[in-house]
Amino acid sequence: MSIKENWDKVLEKVRTAAEESGRTLEDITVIAVTKTRTADEINEVISSGATDIGENKPQEVRDKFHDVKDGVKWHLIGHLQTNKIKYIIDKVCLIHSVDSIHLMDEIDKQAKKHSLIMPILIQVNISGEETKQGVSRQELPQLLEHAGTLSNIRVEGLMTIMPKVENNITNSLHFDNIRQLFVDISCKKYDNVTMKHLSMGMSGDYEEAILHGATMVRVGTAIFGARDYSKT
């Protein structure tokens, strides 16, 4: 299967899930996750219709940025160290993986230097798994309140990574929990916080994520095939 065929197939599934959840394809942003992929492969998915691409390492954004077609939106979806913010601050449209007050402060500082306002999502560890990054539900209000003190970032929603599941057991409960959190925060009115984006769902569960209210899905393997980390 070509990248184009895979992309079309993913998009059809997104459309079906969006309609089943009372929305349309246009309500969902499909982020083609391009970590380990070459600029040529990225340009191919853009030619197939992708408008948004996601990288989990700042260095990969920096290294590929100038070889990828203009006009596409870059998303930083992986863990971000504060000393790497400078690689991506003027290149990405949204940082999905903010999970500390310190990181919020540093992004704000770098954004100020570039005279821009950086949209961010707060990454929540909804399952409570120890290995996953993200803030706990208990820590979340602190970060949301802190957003009100910063002028060069804007919190636009939540992101989460679901635990890997086996044997068709689903993450249904976790999906419901984060959706509920998203709705609760929307009602609370924190300064400088809007709940516009709910970023969840990957190759294995993006349809289920959409049925549970995702507005952004991050899909790599289903578009590009299995990743080969030995080449990077």
Ligand X SMILES: *Cc1c(COP(=O)(O)O)cnc(C)c1O
User: Which residue ranges make up the site for ligand X (CB under 6 A)?
Assistant: 33, 35, 56, 77-78, 161, 202-203, 218-222
Closer residue to ligand X, CB minimum distance, 81 or 115: 81
Distance in Å, CB of 145 to ligand X, minimum: 25
Closer residue to ligand X, CB minimum distance, 12 or 184: 12
Distance in Å, CB of 151 to ligand X, minimum: 28
Return the closest-CA partner of residue 40 out of 68, 61, 13, 16: 68
Closer residue to ligand X, CB minimum distance, 35 or 212: 35
Long-range contacts of 63-70, Cβ-Cβ distance < 8 Å, separation of 24 or more: 64/34, 64/38, 64/39, 65/91, 67/39, 67/43, 68/39, 68/42, 68/43, 69/43
Could you count the other beta carbons within 10 Å of the beta carbon of residue 66? Answer: 9
Strands, DSSP E only, in 102-204? 118-123, 153-159, 193-199
Q: 109 and 89 in contact (C-beta within 8 Å)? A: no
Distance in Å, CB of 39 to ligand X, minimum: 18
Closer residue to ligand X, CB minimum distance, 56 or 150: 56
Distance in Å, CB of 131 to ligand X, minimum: 13
Residue with nearest beta carbon to ligand X: 220
